[in-house]
Amino acid sequence: MMNTDIVGNGTERDHGRSHVPDALDEPTPGTPVNLPHSCADETLREETRPSAGTIYKALADHQRVEAWHGQPMVGFLQAWAARFIGEFNLDIPEVIIAIDRLPCTRYGQFRVGHNGLGLRGEISLNARYLNGKRPLWEILGTLLHELLHGWQQAHGTVGKRNHHNRELREKARSLGLLIDKRGLTGYAANGLFKALLTSFGVPSPATESPIPERWPRGESKLKKWACKCPVNVRCAVELRARCLVCGEAFALAPVTKKTRVRATAP
Predicted confidence band of residue 108 (pLDDT cuts 50, 70, 90): very high
| DSSP-assigned letters across all residues of 184-233 | -EEE-TT-HHHHHHHHTT----SS-BPPPSS--------EEEE-SS--EE
CATH of 6-11+50-199, one of 3.40.630.30, 3.90.280.10, 3.30.2010.10, 3.40.50.1980: 3.30.2010.10
Angle between helices 136-155 and 192-199 (to 10 degrees): 130
In angstroms, the CA 139 to CA 37 distance is: 48
Tell me the pairing of strands 6-7 and 223-226: unpaired
pTM greater than 0.85 = no
Q: How much is the average pLDDT of 247-253? A: 83
- CB-based contact 202:221 (threshold 8 Å): no
pLDDT digit string (tens) for 151-201? 999 999 998 887 899 999 999 999 999 999 999 999 999 999 999 999 999
Tell me the pairing of strands 96-100 and 122-126: parallel
Show me where the domains of the chain are located: 6-11+50-199, 219-266
